[in-house]
Amino acid sequence: METLYFTTVNSPIGPLFLAASSQGLVALEFDARLRGQQTIRPNPRNVREEKTQIKFEESPEATQGYVAELDEYFAGRRRSFMFPLDLRGTDFQLACWRALLAIPYGETRTYADIARAVGKPQGFRAVGMANNRNPVAIVVPCHRVIASDGSLCGYGGGLDVKRKLLQLEGALSGVLAA
């Protein structure tokens, strides 16, 4: 049985849930999730939990390195994260998430840009779904993906949070700031 170490931390955009394996960060989720939004968090009322091969153990100590880098990011002192990631998804999702990781701090890309980057030029909707399933918010920067017309759209943490993250990174243009 695999153990995931977790903690919940406060941030300028609200509480964040972090979970890490021995390989790296597995999840960074907004505490306030939209209805139906996926989560890795254990649910004591979920009977299916008994069948999973994951045990959750609260451990601020095991997650402190991740929290420290997030604190530096929110303070404007970190532009990239150095800790390892343990991303889990389909091959297509992993390709999309790697493309997100390639978006530089302070810049944005469109869903169509990401679709082209993963070799599926007409797959912008599929890219949107992969972004929606991104288990490691902020670090795998799906907040840096915008609509083709330059407007903000679709973000699991809500558009206000997306706007705040882009503002922190200096990536807000006139259209995005509106």
**Catalytic residue status for 142:** yes
Query: Which one from 13, 100, 142, 171 is the annotated catalytic residue?
Result: 142
Half-sphere exposure of 155 (CA within 13 A, CB side): 24
Residue among 122, 124, 98 nearest 111 (CA): 124
Q: How far apart are CA 177 and CA 137, in angstroms?
A: 21
Dihedral of alpha carbons 37, 102, 160, 5, sign: positive
Q: For the range 81-84, what are the long-range contacts, defined as Cβ-Cβ under 8 Å and sequence gap of 24 or more?
A: 81/139, 83/24, 83/25, 84/23, 84/24, 84/25
Q: Which structure tokens are listed for 147?
A: 């609509």
| Active site residues per annotation | 142
